[in-house]
Amino acid sequence: MLLVLLLLISFSGYAFASGIKVKVTDQATQMPVANVIVKVNNSAITAFTNADGICYLDKVPFGKVAIIVWAENYKQQVIDITVTEKTTELNVSLEKLKINLQEVVIKGKVNPRSDQQSRLTEKNTIPAIDIASGDLIENTGSISAADVTQHIQGLSVTRTSTGNTDKAIIRGMEAKYSYTLINGFKIPSPDDKSRYISLDLFPAGLLQSVQVYKSLTADMEGDAIGGVVNMVMRQPQDEPLFQINLSTGYSGHYFDNQYRTFNSDAVQNHSPYERFGPAYYATGADFSKSNLDFYNKKPLPDVNANLLFSHEFLNKKLGLIVAADYKNIKTGSDGFFIPLNTQPNLNNVPAFSDFYRHSYSNNKVALSTNEQLVYKPDNSNKFTLSHFYLNQKDIESRSTVDTSLILGRSGAGTGRIYVSDRSRVHEQEINNINLKGNHNINALSIDWAGVFSEATGRYPDWSVLTANTGRLVAPDGSITQSPLYLAPLNRIWFSNKEKDIDVYLDLHYKPGIFNQKLTLSGGGLIRRKNRDNFYNSYTFTPTINEPFTNINNAVWVNDNGPQNPLGNVNNPNNYTAKERINAAYIMADLQSGRSEFSGGLRMEQTDQNFISTLDPDVSYGKIVNIKYRDWLPDLHWKYTLNDQQQLKASYFKGISRPALYDITFATIAYEDYIVAGNPFLRRTQADNYDFNYTWYQTKNTQLKAALFYKHIVDAYEKTLLNGNDELYPIPQNGLDYTPAGQLTEQFKNTGTAINYGAELYYSYDWRNFVITGSYTYTSSNITRIKKLLTREDPNDPSSNLVTVSKPEKGPLEGQAKHLVNVNLLYKNTPGNWLANVSLIYTGKHIDLVSPWYNLDYWQRPNVTVNLSAEKRLSRKFKIKLSASNLFNNGITDDILVPNPNGSGNLLPAQKQVNKITVLKQDFSAYYQLGLNYQL
Amino acid sequence: MKLFKSLLLLSLPAVFLFSCSKSSNDQQIQISTQEYHTGSFIQNGDTLNSKNKSNGRAIKGTLKAGQTYYLSSDYAAATINKGDTLVIQSGVKVYIVGPASGANAIGTQEHAPGILVNGTLLSLGTKENPNIFTVQNTALKSDPTKDPQDPNTDPAFKGYWGGIQGSTTSGDIILKWTRLEYVGGLTPANSPTRPTLSSYGVFFQNPNANFVLEDCWLYGSHDDMIRVAGGKYEIMRNTFEKVGFIAGECVNIKSGSVGDIAYNVAVGGTGNCFKSANAGGLSPQANMTCYNNTMVTGGYRQQKAGEGGSLDFENGGRGLAYNNFIVNCAYGLSVLGGSGTTPAADTTNIKYGYTYNYGDNTAITTQFLPSGFITKVQTGDINGGNATVPGANNPKFVNYPLPMAANTAFINLDFVGNYNFRLQSSSPAVGKGYTDFKPYAVVKIDKVFGATEITPPGKDIGAYQMDGTGNQH
C-alpha cells in the first residue's frame, strides 16, 4: 500500500518537471570541465558532465531546488534556483580549489585515507615527511606495506626469495638504519637477528597510510639515519563503516610450474628438548617424517580478505574500529646462485665451488587484526586504546640441485651432485597493545602512552634433506653415475621472543608570549626490552651405502636416532638480552610570520645486558654489559613562500644501534670459516641535513624537490678477518688484542661514510588522468677494508700466497644511484572506472658486499610494472583487478670481473665474458581479482 | 694435599672494563672474564678431567711412566693452561671411561671429553713402552677378530672421546710412539670454535708452534684424524687405520701450516689420506712435502663421488709429493686446478712424481688420474696413466694378497691386522724412489722437545725401506 502511494507521488512529480542542460566551465580558463557531479539536492537526480562540460538533468521538479555542483579540485557550488517550465539551461563556472596552507580550513573534512589528507599532513608536519595515502594503497593494488613503500620517492625495497617485497631502503640506507612504527609507537621485531621488521608482514588493507619521516625532531626516537616508517592503521571515522574486501589471486609462476610442498601440520613446534626436558635422550621416533616427504601439486587459488567495521557511540564520544585481514598466498620462483668460495684464487680471481639451482615454493598464511577505541569525553581529553595482532606463517619448500664445480667436474653434467629439499616453516607473531591519552589544560597539553608489545619468531624443525650422486667421465668418454646416497641431516629448532614495555610522556606548553606562537615541549620515554633466543639442533648421520629414496626409507646410525640425543642447546645462539632505553627531550617551536622554527635536544641512554650459555670455565664473555649515552640535537625551519609554496630545511643527529644478536659473543663455525659477534661494535652516529621545496598548484598538481646530505660516523659492515686481524680488543698471550685465529666474518665499524642525493617529485592533473613521476639520485661512499689474495712478493711466483688487507671504496649496500617511479592514474567517475599503471625502476646497486676486494655482488637495474583497475558496480559493490610485476621481472646479480673461463661451460649459466653472473631469481606476475562491499 | 686444594679452582671473578680513548666513543663495555683455574699436579691413577667432582680440570706436570690415568665421560675436558706443560712419560695408559649405554653413555655429546691444550703437551712413548689413549671397556671396542667387518657397525668409527685439541695460541704438541684410538666424539655445544661437530683426533692450530707426530698409531675416528690448521709439523712413520666414517682425512693440512708427511701407512681412510688446501686465511701458505707414504684401500666410505682416497692438493695448497704408494684407492693423486674459477691448488708450486699406482679393477685404474683434476703422468711414475691394465705391476708386499678377488669389498679393508706392507726384494718399488729433494724439516731435532728423526727421502717407493729405515711398525 505504502509502495503504491510512493509511486503515485513520484508520478505526480513527473507531471511537473523539466529537463535542464547544465554546462560547467572553469572560472579562470573558461574551458569546459568534465566529470563534474551535478546533483539536485534531496533527490536522486544526478548527472556527470561530458568532455564538453555538459550534462542533462532530467525531470527536475518545479519549484525551489538546490543544485550541487562538485568536481575534484574545484570548490563546490550550491546553486539555488526556482525551476519552471522555462528553465532549460544552467551555466556554472567553477573556481579551482587551492590547497590552503591553513590547516584549520580543511581539517576534519577530508577523507583521512585520501591523497589530499596526506599532502596536508606533509605540509603541516615540520620534519621532512612523505606519505603514501590510502588512495595510493588502493589504486596500486598493494598487498602489503612493503608494496606501498616502493611507490614513495627515495625508497626502494628488497625482495624475498619468491619475489615478495620485503624491507625498505630509505635514501640508500639499508634497513638497519631505520625503524618501524605502528601508529607512532615502535614495535619489537620478530626477526631472528635484526631489529628490523619486514614490511611484508603488514597487510595493506589495514593501513590508513604509510608515513616516511626523513628527518627527526627531538620528540621522536633517535635511532634512525635513513628514516622512519610509520604505519598508520585504520582509525575510527565519523561515518559508520562496514566494508568487506574479498579477493582471490594466483601467481603466474604456477601456470606452468608445480607447487612443491610437504605436510606442514606434521611439523613439531617444539624440539624433543623442549617437549621432554634437558635430560631426555631423543630417539628417531621423536622426529616427524612427513614434513620431509615432499610432493608436487597444482595450487588452489589464493585468498585475500579483509573486513572493516567502524562506528561511533555515545553521542560521537566513543569511536570504534575493528579490522581483520586474512591471507593465504602462494608464490614461487626459480633461479640459481653461485656463492663465492671462502677464498678466491690468486689476485682475487673469483673461485666458485658450487652451482645451486633453486626452486622455491612459498605459502604465506597470515591473520592480522587491528582494533582501536577512541573515547573523547570532551574537547580537551581523549583516550585511545589500540591493539594490533599479527600471525604469519611462511611455509616454504626449496628444492635444490647443487652441482659441485670442483669435484670430478670435467664439463657440463659431470661431477658431484647434491639433490636436496628444504622444509622450513617460519612463524612470526606480533602483539601490540597501547593506551594513550591526550589532555589539554589551558596552555598545557599532556600526552602519555603505555605500550606493551611482544614479537615472536620461530623456525620449528628447519631441515634440509640431502642426497648425493656423481657423474664421472671415464677415459673412453663414457659417464658413470653412482647411486644416489643419503647425506647427513640436521634438524633445527630456533626461536626468538622480544618483549617491550614502554612508557611515553610528552608535555606541550604555550606560555602565551610571542602571540601564542611559541610552544615549549618536553618529555621522555622509558623502554624495557627483553629478548630470548633459543637454538636447538639434532644431527643425523646416514649409514654407509644407504641408497636414497625418501625420508621414510632413510636409515641412520644410532638406531635411526640423532648423533646428539640430548640436543644442542648449550651454545652461544642461546642467550637472553635486556635493553633499557631512557630518553628525555626538550623542544621549542616558534611560528613567526611565514616561518616556523623548531629545535630540540634529545638524550638517549642505552643500557644493554646479555647472558649467554657460554661456560665461564671455557671462555670469557658469558655476561656483557654495554652502556652509552647520546645527545641528539635537531633544528628545523619551515618557510611559507605563499599559499602554494613552502620550504623546509632541517638538521638532525641520528644513531643506529647494532642488533642485539650482532653484539653478543655468538660464534658460528662453518668449515674453514667462522662468523663471530662483536660486543665492541659501536653504534653509528650521523649528522643529517635535509632541504625541501614544495609547490602545491592544485590538489593533484604539485612539485616537490628535496636535497639531503648525511655524514655517517662508525658505519658498520660485515668484514672478513685474517688469522692475525683483531677479533676483540682483549689482550691475549702477550698481544694487546685477541686475534681472529682464522678466517672470520664479523661486523666491524668501517669508518666514515658520506651519503647525499636529491629527490624530485611531480604530479600533474590532466583531464581524467593524474600522472605522477619521481626520480631519486643517491650517491654514497664508504671505505671498506677488503682482503686480497696475492703473493708475498708479487714478482716471485714461487713465494707464498698471502691474504692482505686492501681498502675499497664503494656505495652503501643496497643503495641504487637512480630510482624512478612513474604512476598513471585514470579516473572515469561517471563510468565508475579507475585504472592505474605504475612503473618502478631500481638502478644498479650492491646486493651483497663481498669481504674480498673487487668481488661484490652487483644487482642489475630492475623494472617492475604493476597494473590495477576497478569498476564500481553500484553504490555498495566494486570489483577490482590487478596484476603486480606484470612482466615477470626478476633479479640478476653479477660480479663485475671478466669470466676467466671465457665462454667455456665449466661455470654454468654464463652469457657474457666481461662479468660473471652469480645469482638469478625469476619472479612471476601476481594476479588478483577482488570484490569490495561497503555498506 | 692442602696446597693442592688451595691451588685448585682458584678463580678470578673479575670483569674486563673497556672504554675507548676516542672522544666520539663513550661506549662502556663490561665483559665477564673466564673463570681461570690453576693447573693442578696429577697423582698416580688420577682422573685427568675432574678433581673433587669438578666438571673439567686444569692439569699440569707429569703422567708417570707405566701408570694408568683416566678421562671420565661424566666431565668436561682436561685443560693444559697457557704456560703449563703436561709430560706423559713412556708406557702410560690413559683410559676413557664411562657408562656403556643410556643418556650419559660414553661418546654422546657432553660425554666425550678430550684434552684441551693451551700450553704444551709432550707424549714421550718409546718403541718398547708406547703410550696409549683408548677406551677401557673392551665391549665398546672394535674386535680385530671380526675384521673385515661392516663399517656401519664397527665401533672404530663411533667416536668415544674428544682427542687432543690445541688452541690457536697453544704451545707445542709432541706425540711420540703413542697410540690414539676411538676419537671423534661430538664437541660440546658450547665449544668456542667448533660446537656440535665431530672432534678431530688431534687439532693443531697455532702457526707459530710445533707439532710432531712420530711413530704413532692412529686407529678409528669419526672425522679427520689429524688436522693442522696452522703449525710447523713433522708427521713421520705413523700408521693410520679406520679414519673417518663417511668423511674425514688422515691428515688435513690448512693455511698457516708447513711441514713434512713421510713414511706413513694409511689403510682404509675414508677421504684423502693427506690433503693440502690453503683455506682459513693464515700465513704461511698451506704446504706439505709428502713422500714415501703407503696408502691402501682409501676412499671407499666416502659416498660423495669425485674425490678422496689418497693425496690431494686444492684451494691454494702447495707442496711436493714423491715416492708415494697408492694401492687400490678410489682415486689417485689429485691436483685441482688450472685456470678459471675453480678454487685451484697453487699449481705453479706443486711438484710430484715417482708415484706408484696399483689397481685391481678398471674403476680404480681409470681414476689414477682422477676425472676433473689436472694430474698428469710424471717422470718415475709406475702405472701412471688411466689406461693401466688392472693388476699390472703387482707391488709384492711381504704379506698382502694382491691381486684381490674380483668381488672384494674394498670398503671393508680398513685395517692392518696381520698384513705387512714391507717390500719383497723383487718388488718393482725397490730402488725406484727419487731422493733429490729435501724435507722442510721445520721442527728442530730433539728427543723431547722436537722431532727425534726426520727421515730423508727414501730410494724405495712407499713407507718401508729395504735398508730397514722408514716406518718402524
Which of A474, A613, A624 lies nearest to residue B30, judging by beta carbons?
A624
Select the more confidently predicted residue: A915 or A47. A915
Task: For residues A133-151, give the mean pLDDT.
Answer: 89
Residue type for position A435: L
Put simply, the answer to whether B411 touches A801 (Cβ < 8 Å) is: no
| Phi/psi at A258 (5° precision) | -90, 150
Put simply, the answer to whether B246 touches A672 (Cβ < 8 Å) is: no
User: Burial level of A719, CB count in 10 A (0-12/13-18/19+)?
Assistant: buried
Listed residue (A92, A97, A80, A83) closest to A53, CA to CA = A92
| Residue that has been written with the C-alpha cell 622512519 in this structure | A228
Distance of CA A710 to the CA centre of its chain: 22
A389: three-class secondary structure by DSSP:
strand
Select the more confidently predicted residue: A41 or A786. A786
| Phi/psi at B23 (5° precision) | -65, -30
B285 touches chain A (CB under 8 A): yes
Sign (positive or negative) of CA dihedral B433, B438, B439, B443: positive
CB A68 within 8 A of CB A38: yes
Put simply, the answer to whether A679 touches B285 (Cβ < 8 Å) is: no
Put simply, the answer to whether A472 touches B55 (Cβ < 8 Å) is: no
Nearest CA-CA distance, residue A406 and chain B, Å:
6
Could you list the beta-strand ranges (E) of B364-453.
Answer: 397-399, 420-423
Nearest CA-CA distance, residue B341 and chain A, Å:
4
Chain A residue with the nearest C-alpha to that of B344: A345
Put simply, the answer to whether B303 touches A544 (Cβ < 8 Å) is: yes
A729 touches chain B (CB under 8 A): yes
Residue B318, C-alpha cell as written in the block: 702447495
The number of beta carbons lying within 10 Å of the beta carbon of residue B73 is 24
Reported as a single tens digit per residue, the pLDDT across A809-823 is 999 989 999 999 999
Phi-psi region of A136 (alpha: psi -120 to 50; beta: other; left: phi over 0): alpha
**Measured between alpha carbons, how far is B465 from B457 in angstroms, rounded to an integer?**
10
A46: three-class secondary structure by DSSP:
strand
Task: For residues A899-918, give the mean pLDDT.
Answer: 82
A98: three-class secondary structure by DSSP:
coil
Nearest CA-CA distance, residue B386 and chain A, Å:
7
Tell me B404's DSSP state.
P
Please report the number of interchain residue pairs, chain A to chain B, with beta-carbon separation below 8 angstroms.
286
How do beta strands A769-791 and A801-810 pair? antiparallel
Phi-psi region of B111 (alpha: psi -120 to 50; beta: other; left: phi over 0): alpha
Nearest CA-CA distance, residue A580 and chain B, Å:
15
Put simply, the answer to whether A798 touches B194 (Cβ < 8 Å) is: no
Chain B from 4 to 43: CB within 8 A of any A CB: 16, 18, 20, 24-35, 37
Sign (positive or negative) of CA dihedral A714, A719, A722, A726: positive
A655: three-class secondary structure by DSSP:
strand
A899 touches chain B (CB under 8 A): yes
CB A534 within 8 A of CB A596: no
A147: three-class secondary structure by DSSP:
helix
What pLDDT score was predicted for residue A111? 67
Task: For residues A475-500, give the mean pLDDT.
Answer: 89
- Name which of B9, B19, B24, B31 to mutate to probe chain A: the one with the most chain A Cβ atoms within 10 A of its Cβ: B31
pLDDT band for position A414 (50/70/90)? Answer: confident
Tell me B246's DSSP state.
S
A624 touches chain B (CB under 8 A): yes
* CB within 8 Å of A300: residues ≥ 6 apart: none
A97 has a pLDDT exceeding 80: no
Residue B385, C-alpha cell as written in the block: 696413466
Reported as a single tens digit per residue, the pLDDT across A863-906 is 999 999 999 998 889 999 999 999 999 999 999 999 887 766 67
Which of B191, B280, B342 lies nearest to residue A672, judging by beta carbons?
B280
The number of beta carbons lying within 10 Å of the beta carbon of residue B308 is 28
How do beta strands B57-58 and A926-934 pair? unpaired
Select the more confidently predicted residue: A51 or A774. A774
pLDDT band for position A515 (50/70/90)? Answer: confident
**Measured between alpha carbons, how far is A628 from A624 in angstroms, rounded to an integer?**
14
The number of beta carbons lying within 10 Å of the beta carbon of residue B98 is 25
Which of A342, A679, A714 lies nearest to residue B29, judging by beta carbons?
A679
| Residue that has been written with the C-alpha cell 509511486 in this structure | A7
CB A578 within 8 A of CB B200: no
Residue A381, C-alpha cell as written in the block: 581529553
- Name which of B371, B411, B442 to mutate to probe chain A: the one with the most chain A Cβ atoms within 10 A of its Cβ: B371
Scanning A251-369, the segments in alpha helix (DSSP H) are 272-276
Residue type for position A782: I
Reported as a single tens digit per residue, the pLDDT across A817-859 is 999 999 999 988 778 899 999 999 999 999 988 889 999 999 9
Which of A359-363, A396-400, A467-471 is least confident?
A: A467-471
A45 has a pLDDT exceeding 90: no
Gyration radius (Cα) of chain B, Å = 23
A478 touches chain B (CB under 8 A): no
Chain A from 667 to 706: CB within 8 A of any B CB: 667, 669, 671-672, 674, 679-680, 682-683, 685
Select the more confidently predicted residue: A161 or A706. A706
Task: For residues A560-574, give the mean pLDDT.
Answer: 82
Chain A residue with the nearest C-alpha to that of B317: A801
Alpha carbon separation from A106 to A117, A236, A603, A648 (Å, rounded): 9, 19, 36, 22
If chain B, 473 residues long, is cut into consecutive pieces of 10 residues, what is the mean pLDDT of each piece?
Answer: 36 47 65 84 92 92 96 94 95 96 84 94 97 96 90 93 92 98 88 81 95 98 95 98 94 96 96 91 93 96 81 94 97 85 92 97 93 92 93 96 92 94 97 96 96 97 97 96
A825: three-class secondary structure by DSSP:
strand
Listed residue (B45, B170, B182) closest to B112, CA to CA = B182
What pLDDT score was predicted for residue B234? 98
| Residue that has been written with the C-alpha cell 714423491 in this structure | B322
**Measured between alpha carbons, how far is A375 from A317 in angstroms, rounded to an integer?**
6
| Phi/psi at A514 (5° precision) | 50, 45
Reported as a single tens digit per residue, the pLDDT across A601-611 is 999 999 999 98
What pLDDT score was predicted for residue A54? 87
A1 has a pLDDT exceeding 60: no
**Measured between alpha carbons, how far is B171 from A617 in angstroms, rounded to an integer?**
20
Alpha carbon separation from A366 to A217, A371, A538 (Å, rounded): 35, 17, 29
pTM: 0.87
**Measured between alpha carbons, how far is A719 from A713 in angstroms, rounded to an integer?**
17
Residue type for position B234: E
Instruction: Using an 8 Å CB-CB cutoff, list chain B residues near A743.
Output: 279-281
CB B313 within 8 A of CB B286: no
CB B247 within 8 A of CB B302: yes
A410 touches chain B (CB under 8 A): yes
B205 touches chain A (CB under 8 A): yes
User: Burial level of A541, CB count in 10 A (0-12/13-18/19+)?
Assistant: buried
Chain A residue with the nearest C-alpha to that of B77: A618
The number of beta carbons lying within 10 Å of the beta carbon of residue A713 is 17
Chain B residue with the nearest C-alpha to that of A607: B28
Sign (positive or negative) of CA dihedral A258, A263, A264, A268: negative
Task: For residues A899-924, give the mean pLDDT.
Answer: 85
Q: Which of A349-353, A507-511, B276-280, B398-402 has the highest mean pLDDT?
A: B398-402
> Within chain A, what is the greatest distance between any pair of CA atoms?
110
Scanning A836-878, the segments in alpha helix (DSSP H) are none
What pLDDT score was predicted for residue B173? 98
- Name which of B29, B334, B383 to mutate to probe chain A: the one with the most chain A Cβ atoms within 10 A of its Cβ: B29
Sign (positive or negative) of CA dihedral B438, B441, B442, B444: negative
Phi-psi region of A553 (alpha: psi -120 to 50; beta: other; left: phi over 0): alpha
Reported as a single tens digit per residue, the pLDDT across A251-287 is 999 999 999 999 999 999 999 999 999 888 899 999 9
The number of beta carbons lying within 10 Å of the beta carbon of residue B306 is 28
Partner residues linked to A750 by β-bridges? none
Chain B from 413 to 472: CB within 8 A of any A CB: none
A643 has a pLDDT exceeding 50: yes
The number of beta carbons lying within 10 Å of the beta carbon of residue A256 is 7
Listed residue (A157, A131, A147, A246) closest to A202, CA to CA = A147
Alpha carbon separation from A309 to A245, A371, A660 (Å, rounded): 12, 10, 39
A184 has a pLDDT exceeding 50: yes
Listed residue (B360, B370, B355, B233) closest to B309, CA to CA = B370
Phi-psi region of A86 (alpha: psi -120 to 50; beta: other; left: phi over 0): alpha
